[in-house]
Amino acid sequence: MHGVIFDFNGTLFLDNDKHIMAWNKISQSIRGRGITEEELHTKMNGVNNKYIIRYLNGGKPDKKLENAYSSLKEQYYREFCKADSKNFHLIAGAKELFDDLKKRGVPFTIASASIKDNIDFFVESFHLDRWIDPDSIVYDNGEYKDKVAMFKQAAQNMGVPIENVCVIEDSLAGVNASVKAGVKDILVIDSGHIADQVKHFAQVKQIGDTMKDFRL
């Protein structure tokens, strides 16, 4: 392991409830009903917003609708985050792990399906630039086909071959994308309760509830 790529939502920040609330509002607008937690984990986590909105829209592509609702969803999401100040913090053990990786000279960054406005929000709110160069963070800028491409770009940003990278994820989609990208060392934060679905993957080395559970 020569570098680490962190997913963000559900991995470094436990925010599934905020996504559910925000996507519920969008889903109500698009299809007249909310979403289920199962939909969040199987159809949404680790997936770019436009594809989620397309799913909610019955699979029909509509660029104007996708762009508008993507921005609106994240606006709702950030409002819910700020309203819940008690839980608006990095997952337990994250700061200590960041400090340890910095001390050891191990490069690390973030690859997230979030849009830039959210990444800027996270960097400012959690002071991520103390540990991570914001320019190295990979996010949904509309250019990546999927999380596979995002992981590869993040590894390139760190100057580390993808096969020598450890990825820390929380979603089944993220784990599958890591495997497809060629990652051989995957750690899973089980915030989405996917342990039984991923424990058979040879690439999944550790499963835990917080960063304190991992040994890198």
Say yes or no to pLDDT of 209 above 90. Answer: yes
Q: How many CB atoms lie within 10 A of CB 65?
A: 16
Out of 53, 86, 119, a domain closes at: 86
187 and 135, same domain (yes or no): yes
Out of 47, 68, 86, a domain closes at: 86
36 and 105, same domain (yes or no): no
96 and 110, same domain (yes or no): yes
The parent domain of residue 41 ranges over 16-86
102 and 182, same domain (yes or no): yes
What does the pLDDT read at residue 134?
97
Quick check: 80 and 21 in contact, CB under 8 A? Answer: yes
Query: Looking at residues 51-61, what average pLDDT do you find?
Result: 93
CATH number at residue 96: 3.40.50.1000
138 and 152, same domain (yes or no): yes
What does the pLDDT read at residue 45?
74
Number of domains in the chain: 2
158 and 208, same domain (yes or no): yes
51 and 138, same domain (yes or no): no
What does the pLDDT read at residue 39?
84
66 and 166, same domain (yes or no): no
117 and 198, same domain (yes or no): yes
74 and 32, same domain (yes or no): yes
What does the pLDDT read at residue 1?
66
Out of 86, 106, 128, a domain closes at: 86
118 and 174, same domain (yes or no): yes
What does the pLDDT read at residue 37?
75
79 and 135, same domain (yes or no): no
Write down the pTM of the prediction: 0.88
